[in-house]
Chains A and B, each alone.
Chain A
Amino acid sequence: MSSHRLTILIVDDTPTNAKQLEAVAHKLGHATILAGNGEEAVAKFQSGKPDLVIMDIMMPVMDGITAVQHIRALPSEKWTPIIFFSALDQMQDIVRGLEVGGDDYIVKPASLQILRAKINSYARVLSLQQEAQTNAAELRNWRLDAEEQSRLGAHVMARLTDAAGLRDPMIRHFNMPADTFSGDLLCAARAPGEVLNVLLADATGHGLAAALTAMPLTQAFYSMTTKGFPLPSIAEELNRKLKAILPSDRFVAATLASIDVRNHTVEVWNGGNPNALFINAHGEVSMQWASAHPPLGILPDKLFSGVTEMVVFHEAGDLVLCSDGLTEAEDPDGAWLGIQGVRDCLASSNDSDQRFTSLLGGVEAHLAGHAGRDDISAMLVSIPIDRRFLPRFDTLTHAHHGHISEWRMDLSFGAQELRYIDVVPAVLGFVTQVHALKPHQGSLFLIFSELFNNALDHGLLGLGSATKNWIGGFEQYLQQRSERLNGLRQGRIDISFLLHQEETRALLDISMTDTGLGFDFEQIQNNTATLRAENQMAFGRGIALVKKLCEQVVYSGSGNKVWARYLVSDQIIEDDDNGPARTDPAGNTGSELF
């Protein structure tokens, strides 16, 4: 019946009985150990580790009941069934035998058939039990293995997604995973020129698979942000990346936001996340951005839309982004926190810190100690109203080690290319490869983007900057800009960079010429002086910023040509060994803008 080969300990003081049992066992294919009394049985049980014990009761030296009590007291890793085989046939004998740890009781004399059947039956049970034990051991190993992998994975994931940008003083955030890994991903980084970009992404499901799904977003987000790419281009690239690697039933809901404190704008792309909220000083939701797109990773490139919604803010407040894990957080009765619950938490305080604490406390209270079903994350960005006319950062010049050889680059963009190329980050990405210019990335971004945007917006697109100055004007301006850019069929912008050395000074000259009508630069320059104090005039503000950062700015032609000189270093130290330029502290300008 069973192919499971057992070792059976047979305990009987009558050799004939023992031999008879042994013969039965052998015939069934099992091995045997013989013992002539209880004491011997305990010793052989320990040394021989039998699978099954057949125990007589009345024996010299130590009886079977005492022997079983000893055996059951031994530490043991497996269950060994014991069958009493005794001539004692009273009810109390049988009960006592089972009470001290016997599993079965056969009264002597018994037929060989009964004995065979019992042995076979226990062989089956033992075989099942061993299988269960093997499975349990395997399961335990799997679990230990999985825990170890989880631990390692969580460590690596934490490093990969560790966003130094999230430690920005403007940002508060939490991410409560439903599992070891969170499928919610939060990122923040500074773009060159005072702009803060943030991302809150929520991958389908939760746990490791979801975390892996969201991973590819981090690198693209950081590298494109630090290079100054606009939000729609970042959204398109994130979508392209995910579409290429995810199976068709996986996607990532995401909110991307770009906060420009200098220009008082918040730009949002929301695909599949709950509304992004702007909470003003009174705790009211004064603006919100509903999901306007399907999540990332679903649509092919040509159907995807990176169109963002940009608004101008006129008051300080907190921008709040969250995943649906927050709005769908359930209390013990299964009721959702809801967007209203989130708004109530946020309305309870006027201060960013307390508001954040109130939101976190609110979710925890709602969950009432239970874990969320889904990953729960939120990010709160405190947005100040900045009345400064110019960014608060020093145009420190610093020593440059080594000779600067002349470097120049001339570029010319026609209408066709201007419609789709992100000229500013593309060109600056190249320019800042030059070692001497790298530490100046932040300033160069501000200068170049102002000059280029003037040339494009006011020169080629003929947009007047006056509209920017009244409430709602900026939105209208952006609308017009996008329409005119799409319709741009002629025109050209020429750009030229020249890095050169004059005695001990390193200089970068930037010139730009557009084929537009130009503008009355003398009048703008005069007006700038009067409007400066009120921080009202967007266009004049741009030129004034460039003037502040550059040594010289000269407009010529009809206002369609501009030349700017930027001081890279006034202290060139020509080292003998021509060694690499040392890292300069001013290279951090970008992170000290606020």
Chain B
Amino acid sequence: MLIANDVNGDRATLKLGGRFDFHSHRDFRSAYEQHLVKAGVREIIIDFGDVDYLDSSALGMLLLLREKCDAAGRSVALSGLKGTVKQVLDIANFGKLFRIQA
């Protein structure tokens, strides 16, 4: 999985690309961890625009991120949902757990 990290003011955006599955565990964690401790970041956006596939362990990683953001006082939102990725997140009703950005 490819991850581009971009910080703009108090908002950090992780733009993901490729397959987001159980192999992505370490990359994904190390990409967001800095934003949990860096002063000034208040919001983490996960951009799924270029993600082709997402499995249930990816959903688990999102839940873990959500928990860590809660503990660190950051908000988290998902964006760029379309196609299969949107379908998987819809079936899991993640709209009830995460803020979704258009």
Chain A residues close to B by CB (< 8 Å): 202, 204-205, 248-251, 253, 271-274, 290-295, 298-299, 324, 374
Contact = CB atoms under 8 A, between A and B. Distances in A.
Contacts of A273: 91
Nearest to B96: A294
B31 interface: no
* Leading 8 A-B pairs by shortest Cβ distance: A249-B60, A249-B64, A294-B93, A204-B56, A291-B91, A272-B92, A248-B67, A249-B63
A564 B90 CA distance: 50
B67 A272 contact: no
A204 B60 CA distance: 8
A247 to B, nearest CB: 8
A316 B63 CA distance: 41
Contacts of B56: 202, 204-205, 251, 253, 324
B2 interface: no
B91 A249 contact: no
Contacts of B64: 248-249
Interface in B75-98: 90-94, 96-97
B100 interface: no
B88 to A, nearest CB: 8
A204 B59 contact: yes
Contacts of B92: 253, 272, 291, 294-295
Contact of A324 (B22, B60, B91, B96): B91
B60 A251 contact: yes
A554 B36 CA distance: 69
Contacts of A294: 92-94, 96-97
A292 B63 contact: no
A202 B55 CA distance: 13
B57 interface: yes
Most buried by B among A202, A204, A290: A204
Interface of B: 22, 55-57, 59-61, 63-64, 67, 90-94, 96-97
Given A249-B64, A273-B91, 18 more contacts: A204-B56, A204-B60, A205-B57, A248-B64, A248-B67, A249-B60, A250-B60, A251-B56, A253-B91, A253-B92, A271-B93, A272-B91, A274-B91, A290-B91, A291-B91, A291-B93, A293-B93, A294-B96
A204 B57 contact: yes
A304 to B, nearest CB: 11
Nearest to B61: A249
A202 B92 CA distance: 12
Contacts of A205: 22, 56-57
Given A248-B67, A272-B92, A291-B91, A298 B57 contact: no
Contacts of B93: 271-272, 291-294
27 contacts: A202-B56, A204-B59, A204-B60, A205-B22, A249-B57, A249-B60, A249-B64, A250-B60, A251-B56, A253-B91, A271-B93, A272-B91, A272-B92, A273-B91, A274-B91, A290-B91, A291-B90, A291-B92, A292-B93, A293-B96, A294-B93, A294-B96, A295-B92, A298-B97, A299-B97, A324-B91, A374-B55
A227 B76 CA distance: 42
Contacts of B57: 204-205, 249
A253 B61 CA distance: 16
A290 B91 CA distance: 8
A294 B22 CA distance: 20
Contacts of B94: 294
A248 B57 CA distance: 11
A249 B59 CA distance: 8
A383 B87 CA distance: 30
Most central of A248, A249, A273, A274 by chain B CB within 10 Å: A249
Contacts of A249: 57, 60-61, 63-64
A294 B91 CA distance: 8
Contacts of A324: 56, 91
A53 B55 CA distance: 57
B30 to A, nearest CB: 16
A42 B59 CA distance: 65
Contact of B63 (A291, A293, A298): A298
Contacts of A374: 55
